[in-house]
Amino acid sequence: MHSSDPLHVRDAPGAAGDDSALVEELRALLAEADGVEELARRMALLADPRRLRILFCLHAHPGVRSSDVARALDAHDSTTSHALAMLREAGWVRSRREGREVRYELADATIHALLHDLGSGHLPGVRHTDDRPEHSPEGDPLPPR
């Protein structure tokens, strides 16, 4: 989290005493949260430096071939292909066949925004689109890509 990012703090009682109402609200919030285990599994894939570097490459240049990513990482093609398969299975990337070549790109705006937050950039001259809205749900403009 960036130091300029606001914390989501609501008016809460002081540190002293038991706040059973708050605990119940938190329990209800957690009970409504769908897919937490799946999200944790997907996020765990990002803890591997090689997979994260692969995502940085796909973010910087959508449509890159796996062999080019392997060369950029100084990795074996098979190792890179395996990592890409894991990322594809988890829904972070998608592939498309162009003749005999398979090209990879980020699967959705969620991972795109996350990579921006982690500091990944785009290569100069590379343009791509995403489904990200121009404004947050609160109506605030989102930072440029």
pTM above 0.85, yes or no: no
Residue 119: band (very low, low, confident or very high) from pLDDT cuts 50, 70, 90: confident
Number of CB atoms found within 10 A of residue 49's CB: 9
What is the model's pLDDT at position 81?
Answer: 95
Domains of the chain by residue range: 38-117
Residue tagged 């990592």 (tokens):
83
Distances (CA, A) of 74 to 1, 50, 91, 93: 30, 11, 25, 21
40-93: pLDDT as tens digits: 888 898 899 999 999 999 999 999 999 999 999 999 999 999 999 999 999 999
Whether 4 shows a pLDDT value over 90: the answer reads no
Which CATH topology does 38-117 take?
A: Arc Repressor Mutant, subunit A (1.10.10)
